[in-house]
Structure 1
Amino acid sequence: MLFTETKYLGYKFPEPQYLGAKYIHRGWIAQYIPDNVETVLDAFSGSQSIAYMFKQLGKRVLTNDFLSFNNMIGKALVENPRYILEKKDLEILFSGNSNPIEFNLMENLFSGLFFLPEEAAFVDSFRSNVMRLDNSYKQALALAVMCRSMTRKVTMGHFAHTQALAYAADPARIKRNRSLIRPLKEIFIELLSEYNAAVFDNFQKNVSYNKNILDLLPQLTDVDLVYFDPPYCNSHADYQSFYHLLETFVEYWKNKEFVNGTKRYAPKKYSGFDKNSEALGNLQLMFERAAHIPIWIVSYNDRSFPDIDTMIKMIEPYRHVKVERKLYNAGRGGKGSVAGSHEILFVCTTK
């Protein structure tokens, strides 16, 4: 399949800033999607760039991620057929805090750590008004754009360090990235135009799930192809540590501890794929529970655990396996994508 042969190509996914995102590999992955595939499951959707690509290809897309902030992107840009944020919605979102007693979590946790107090208070105020929007897709879009705004404002785009404000006061870093000193509201408005423009209807009943994939797989029927991009152990697999602030913002936790210097929430949600001690058994279980889906495409990296041969041995009882490789000429960050390593696709078809 040629990626250019689709009437939805004119829509553009807003470029993500997400460790391990497969955004740069969309065209490469697309060539292994058969034309006759109708329903596709993106099992570990992360940034949602590949799920969005499937939508562009005219497929019915079931996209899933166990983290809520990723699910919001899927709901906003994959499941959402037409709803965008308009001027009247922004007036609601940017109005004063509708419940300052309940909505002060970001200011209490992250003032002086990732944001100046006035910016943290703005985020709380914004979050207090999200539920005042009259449509769940608009709510998801608002949350997705604000999450992206926060990653743009913080150096390195993640929250596993404690140097955000020090970096934001460094003239050399500011010269490279002026978003470090721009107001979040300004960044949000700039990004919103990209997100609004990315909303389209491919006339399929697309769904964004927020589940552990091991629980979701047995519930799904009539799926033609599943795309697996699991966390790569040994290669920044702990997404909750990197993006805890975004999950805290979306979930607006009231029953969590906040630990370490970064104020990461505890306990973390159970993944089952981010620790070497658990990944092997859960990958085996995942393949077992996907046995009813005819075609599997599995993204991987040759620096990860388990190794490529072990992955092949786990897949072979269920499917024929063909291994495709793509060399990284330069490091991109996250999931083992360093210069000299290979992005791997296991293309798995029925025996």
Structure 2
Amino acid sequence: MSTAVEVESPMRSRVAALARAAAYPRLRYMGSKYKLAPHLGTVFNEIGGTTFLDAFSGSGFVGYLAKALGYAVTTNDYLHFPSVISRASMVNETTLLTDQMIDTICGPAADSRKFIQTTFRDVFFAEDDRVFLDSAWSHIDSMTGFERDIALAALILSAARKQPRGVFTISGDLSHYDDGRRDLSLPLRDHFRERAAEYNAAVFSTGQEGKAVTGDVFNLAKTDYDVVYLDPPYAPPTDDADYTKRYHFLEGLSDYWVGREIMQKTKTKKIPKQASVFANKRTIEDALERTFDKFRDAGAIVMSYSSNALPGDARIKELLGTVKPYVEVRMVDHQYHFGTHSTAARRSVQEYIFIGRD
């Protein structure tokens, strides 16, 4: 159901945009840029323009920030659930979930489906929470448009908040992760009500047309955006940057696993990995070179990257310099947190913001 939402001025001040972005529903996501918002907002404001591409949208936060700054935004990600989140929060200009819709989704099931209950028994969540996820989907299945997107975004965020560390690589008895945080004890049904309210509060209108797509960055149309923002998976010297492994449950939840293969022999019932050329130290340079070349006609290319990944800043600057004659590198001290408790390990790194212009 559409509800009147005040139309905000297309071009907004950085301060006003950051205030708007601060209300964005927080999804714990590997590589999230929440803490870099002031720095990115400054860069985007300096560049200006009207059209913006967030080519690796992830949690959807940067695309939302760009909308708050007045851009007409297109987001893209190779996973499906980020596009659902972007449609609910960024593309959506006026549609809210009514109290009646929320009550219906939280009420008795519309059918007898039990896919999540049976598939993820003893894997993720208590029985009552799994029952709710199936029941919620029994109602969402008949929804359309932005109402469906908001409902799914709220459901996705609920599951992510309830899962310790926000990732789905751990399963079974997770009581040793319980540090007393409310998110871990709150029933998913109650989570959903709160998350739906958060997404409703995030909806605002600028009158600018946004778009959210799912696909490979190399398949995107070569539209001449004023700003192309790149936040690809980082290629670590060790370990991996496998987003499918970490968020496979959220990916499946976004479309109820329809048409998806589930790897039944895996402990967490994963879906097959979507390998990324950006996350591999042997293919990252070629991937960056191809990406920079694809967007050489953009007004500016802005890329986030980390000092604990390959290649180094000098090499990235060199690659970006092959398509943009003026390349600036800004460095921001940053800490990655491992775990959710007060004594969790932290790794201090520098987050690079590369800015390539003509």
Instruction: Provide the TM-score with structure 2 as the length reference.
Output: 0.87
Rate the CA distance shift 1:98–1:220 in 2: closer, same or farther, 3 A: farther
| Letter in structure 2 aligned against 1:144 | A
Q: Which moved more, 1:26-35 or 1:341-350?
A: 26-35
Corresponding residue SS for 1:293: coil
| Letter in structure 2 aligned against 1:58 | G
Q: Which residue of 1 aligns with 2:329?
A: 323
| 2:19 maps to 1:17 | no
Percentage of matched positions with identical amino acids:
27
Pairing partner for 1:137 from 143, 146, 157:
146
Determine if contact 1:20/1:333 at 8 Å carries over to the other structure.
no
Pairing partner for 2:267 from 250, 261, 265:
261
Q: Which digits, 9 at most, give the CA deviation of each residue in 1:221-255, with x for residues without a partner?
A: 24111000000011752111110001111132244
| 2:348 maps to 1:340 | yes
Determine if contact 1:16/1:23 at 8 Å carries over to the other structure.
no
User: What are the within-5 Å matches in structure 2 for residues 131-280 of structure 1?
Assistant: 131-133=141-143, 135-163=144-172, 165-167=173-175, 170=176, 174=178, 176-216=180-220, 219-234=221-236, 236-253=240-257, 254-258=259-263, 259-266=265-272, 268-280=273-285
C-alpha separation in 1, matches of 2:338 and 2:93 = 32
In angstroms, what is the RMSD of aligned CA positions?
Answer: 2.3
| Letter in structure 2 aligned against 1:246 | L
C-alpha separation in 2, matches of 1:7 and 1:116 = 37
User: What are the within-5 Å matches in structure 2 for residues 34-183 of structure 1?
Assistant: 34=46, 36-100=48-112, 103-133=113-143, 135-163=144-172, 165-167=173-175, 170=176, 174=178, 176-183=180-187
Rate the CA distance shift 1:153–1:22 in 2: closer, same or farther, 3 A: same
Deviation at 1:338, TM superposition (A): 5.0
4+ residue runs over 4 A deviation: 5-8
C-alpha separation in 2, matches of 1:189 and 1:93 = 9
C-alpha separation in 2, matches of 1:25 and 1:347 = 15
Deviation at 1:6, TM superposition (A): 5.0
| Letter in structure 1 aligned against 2:235 | C
Instruction: Provide the TM-score with structure 1 as the length reference.
Output: 0.89
Aligned length: 336
Determine if contact 2:230/2:301 at 8 Å carries over to the other structure.
yes
